Structure 1
């Protein structure tokens, strides 16, 4: 039982690092398409990664910032078009 604990700990850190990278990628992609879905997802993944102590804190913070930027872009386009959604 003692041998499985370090393996689980390494897997947990790897999972949080993956969440940090995924939040960055989804936040970046959300600036172009589906920002109403990808923005909150990037924010949630970055928050969980930071809370769990990821080693990739910079990417998690960038993912969080990009997720917020996704929502701000959505609000800006909604205000400009006076609609609920926007398109190219």
Structure 2
């Protein structure tokens, strides 16, 4: 059996329990690294799934607010998600459709009201 030997300040040796693991040096900042922090090698498919969901949400919000901003963002995110092979293909296609619908609503508003925002009432 392999035992680690420690020498005390008086010069005497004492034996400790068998060493089954090596000690790790402390983290440079003094605290343990966060386990939820993204890593460089994160799963690209998970990123694509997030893009599909973001595309859907932005496209949906864009129907009511900031069509000119959220519509193109939804289209770009949906395209990226589809190109990266998302598992949420339907959600990405909905985001793409809603992004295009945002731009159509914007075109209708500009044509009918000569404005780029919703106006209810008379």
TM-score by length of 2: 0.62
Bigger strand share = 2
Task: Give the Cα separation in 2 of the matches to 1:78 and 1:62.
Answer: 24
Q: Tell me, which stretches of 5 or more residues in structure 2 are unaligned?
A: 1-39
Aligned position for 1:60: 92
Structure 1 residue corresponding to 2:73, chosen from 38, 41, 52: 41
Structure 1 or 2: more helix by fraction: 1
| Structure 1 residue 86 corresponds to structure 2 residue 117 | yes
3-state SS of paired residue (1:21): helix
Query: Looking at CA atoms only, which structure, 1 or 2, has the larger radius of gyration?
Result: 2
State the Cα distance separating 1:81 from its structure 2 match. Answer: 1.2
- 1:19 and 2:59 correspond: no
TM-score by length of 1: 0.85
